Amino acid sequence: MGATSNVGVAGHGAGGAGGGAGAPARDESAPPGRDRAPTSAPRPFGALFWTAVAAVGVTYVRALAFTPVEALQGPAQKIFYLHAPAAFTALYLAFALMAISSVLYLWLRDPKLDRVAACSAEVGLAFTTVVLITGPLWAKPVWGTWWSGDARLTATLFLWLIILGYLVMRQAVEDRELRARYSAVLAILAGLLVPFIHLTVYLFRTLHPQPIVLKPSAPSMPAEMAVTFALAFVAFALLFVALLRARYRLALAAEAREEADGSGGPN
């Protein structure tokens, strides 16, 4: 997850949010010994990121100290405020954006769309990692086992592996256009798993609970818990946007560097 992932694009000279991708313009005003920006692209983290960090901090405090303990599951139920927002963000924001951008890329061939898809996939992988770590930590005290191997858990693990493969493949293919095209196809196929994962609790016998928020009727939880959950969802969605923007800025800077070197290979 923390490895350098290739988010190169299928074309040269494409601009994007936060700066263009032309030859690097040195920031000669930067003091000696400090990093200078490689392009006109700004630094990856700004006010949005620190706002998201503050929101996540408030969520932690509210969830752990000011939200009632659930009667049946005890303190372990508080993992819900991490696990469910991470799952929502990964599946319905990150991987949905990845799949939609990939469809649009195959249609419009705009390199920005390939870049957005790749960045979204990488950030989504981080959120899915949180889902796959916090899920067993919740399951052990409540179900009596770390992992049940049912359809939802297994499909989520498969999706994590497919996204990991997607990012590894981007490192392996040097031709930018081929890389973008292969990546788009794989991303669309991975995106098809998202509605399947959502429906697994209806289609298969499972230990995983039925949805208590994303369902036709009203969420089945007390108001205090619902407020904490809503706060958590907003905080982690904000964190997703901030990390996506940072990753996009990194991709722009890396591409500018590639073009200055005259190479089109993986960054």
Residues forming the site for another protein (CB under 8 A) = 1-4, 24, 26, 35-39, 43-45, 49, 56, 60, 63-64, 70-79, 82-83, 86, 123, 126, 129-130, 133-134, 137-138, 140-142, 239, 243, 246-247, 249-250, 253-254, 256-257, 260-262, 267
Tokens 């390199």 belong to which residue?
111
User: Closest CB to another protein among 170 and 247?
Assistant: 247
User: How much helix, strand and coil, in percent to the nearest 5, is found in the chain?
Assistant: 65, 0, 35
Token duo for residue 32:
């000696």
State in angstroms the smallest separation of the CB of 202 from another protein. Answer: 26
User: Closest CB to another protein among 4 and 220?
Assistant: 4
Token duo for residue 194:
């998202």
Partner residues linked to 74 by β-bridges: 70
Which residues have a Cβ under 8 Å from the Cβ of 72 and sit 6 or more positions away?
none
State in angstroms the smallest separation of the CB of 81 from another protein. Answer: 9
In angstroms, the CA 123 to CA 188 distance is 17
State in angstroms the smallest separation of the CB of 185 from another protein. Answer: 26
State in angstroms the smallest separation of the CB of 245 from another protein. Answer: 10
C-beta atoms surrounding 267 within 10 Å: 19
User: Closest CB to another protein among 32 and 216?
Assistant: 32
User: Closest CB to another protein among 41 and 190?
Assistant: 41
